[in-house]
């Protein structure tokens, strides 16, 4: 399962604002902000919200590392 820290780091690597990620993921800006800031844990967030965020970041070239803490950017 991905973490809020990974989402924040992935967004930075992809050079996406929270608003841009929200639009691409099909979720609300507040959802992104609350997950990244730890107000809502990934476990308590709606599954479709987390899945949408993960898909959007992966489409932007972000790879979530299996340790649950890291991300990297896929090389072209």
Model pLDDT for residues 13-53, shown as the tens digit of each residue: 999 999 999 999 999 999 999 999 999 998 899 999 999 99
pLDDT given at position 42: 86
**Residue in this structure with the two tokens 């967004």, named with its chain if needed:** 11
Provide the CB-side half-sphere exposure for 33 (13 A, CA).
5
Check residue 46 and give its pLDDT.
Answer: 93
CA distance 30 to 65: 25
Class of domain 4-73: mainly alpha
Judge whether residue 69 has pLDDT over 90: no
Pick the residue with more confidence: 60 or 1? Answer: 60
pLDDT band, residue 75 (cuts 50/70/90): confident
Question: How much is the pTM?
Answer: 0.92
Provide the pLDDT for residue 76: 74
Is residue 71 within 8 Å of 13, Cβ to Cβ? yes
Domain residue limits, the chain: 4-73
């Amino acid at each position: 399962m991905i973490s809020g820290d990974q989402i924040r780091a992935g967004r930075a690597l992809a050079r996406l604002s929270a608003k841009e990620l929200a639009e691409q993921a099909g979720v609300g800006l507040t959802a992104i902000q609350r997950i990244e800031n730890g107000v809502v844990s990934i476990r308590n967030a709606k599954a479709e919200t987390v899945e949408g965020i993960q898909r959007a970041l992966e489409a932007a070239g972000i790879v979530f590392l299996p340790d649950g803490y890291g991300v990297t950017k896929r090389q072209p």
